[in-house]
């Protein structure tokens, strides 16, 4: 399933894969909440044009690996976000599948997600989210595991703010645009009120000039 979200024009449109991993949701026992939560947050945070490619799959390692490989190598997503399957239960194999398809591990993303979640619940230390780069000769993508609950998804992506909107703890998405820059993906701009993308000054591109009528 492909959904299109238009916020403007870029040289190459950003393509994001969203994967919800749940035996019961994929089996129709209950409605998936992960993908809708991800889509809602991304629509509010990203101001450049992007499309999403979604997958709802069971907690099966072979299926997870095949889905991630397909989204990166065939669909050619620039960023893939998964939700679900990162706890210590026997069926939780998302991190293992993600590490298996990656060519570079990016441990800082998982570390920061756990730091954010620990502000709310001590059981955050049981979370095993990981992030990797998958790269080939002509394409690369950042693949990240996120928590399964919509509230936790928003908190880890956006970070924590005080009542006045001042950032207390940076969310992980602040580092995503520059990471995608470094692996050759499209330039991602964000709404600073939701999530301020961070780049070194040398990597910041000037805003496009307004069109003359």
Share of the chain above pLDDT 70, in %: 92
Of residues 158, 162, 161, the one with CA closest to residue 176: 158
Contacts for 190 with CB less than 8 Å, ≥ 6 apart = 45, 46, 47, 173, 177, 196, 197
* Residue 155: per-residue pLDDT: 93
- Under DSSP, the state recorded for 46 is B
Asked if pLDDT for residue 210 goes beyond 50, the answer is yes
Length of the chain: 213
Residue 20's pLDDT band, with cuts at 50, 70 and 90, is very high
* Residue 43: per-residue pLDDT: 97
Average pLDDT of the residues of the chain = 91
Domains of the chain listed by start with CATH number: 2-199 (3.40.980.10)
Q: Give residue-wise pLDDT tens across range 59-96.
A: 999 999 999 999 999 999 999 999 999 999 999 999 99
Asked if pLDDT for residue 211 goes beyond 90, the answer is no
* Residue 5: per-residue pLDDT: 46
* Residue 8: per-residue pLDDT: 41
Q: Which long-range contacts (CB under 8 A, 24 or more apart) does 24-28 make?
A: 25/56, 26/56, 26/57, 26/58, 27/58
pTM: 0.91
């Amino acid at each position: 399933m492909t959904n299109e979200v238009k916020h403007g024009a870029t040289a190459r449109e950003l393509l994001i894969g969203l994967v919800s991993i749940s035996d019961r949701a994929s089996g129709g026992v209950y409605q998936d909440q992960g993908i809708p939560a991800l889509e809602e947050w991304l629509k509010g945070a990203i101001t450049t044009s992007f499309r999403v490619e979604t997958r709802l799959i069971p907690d099966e390692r072979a299926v997870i690996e095949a889905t991630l490989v397909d989204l990166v190598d065939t669909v050619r997503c620039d960023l893939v976000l998964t939700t679900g399957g990162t706890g210590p239960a026997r069926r939780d194999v998302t991190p293992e599948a993600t590490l298996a398809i990656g060519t570079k591990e990016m441990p800082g993303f998982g570390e920061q997600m756990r730091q954010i979640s620990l502000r709310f619940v001590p059981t955050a230390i049981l979370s095993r989210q990981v992030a990797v780069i998958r790269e080939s000769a002509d394409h690369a993508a950042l693949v990240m595991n996120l928590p399964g609950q919509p509230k936790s998804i928003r908190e880890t992506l956006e970070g924590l703010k005080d009542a006045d909107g001042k950032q207390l703890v940076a969310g992980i998405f602040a580092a995503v645009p520059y990471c995608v820059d470094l692996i050759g993906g499209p330039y991602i701009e964000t709404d600073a009120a939701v999530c301020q993308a961070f780049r070194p000054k040398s990597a910041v591109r000037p805003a496009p000039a307004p069109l003359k009528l």
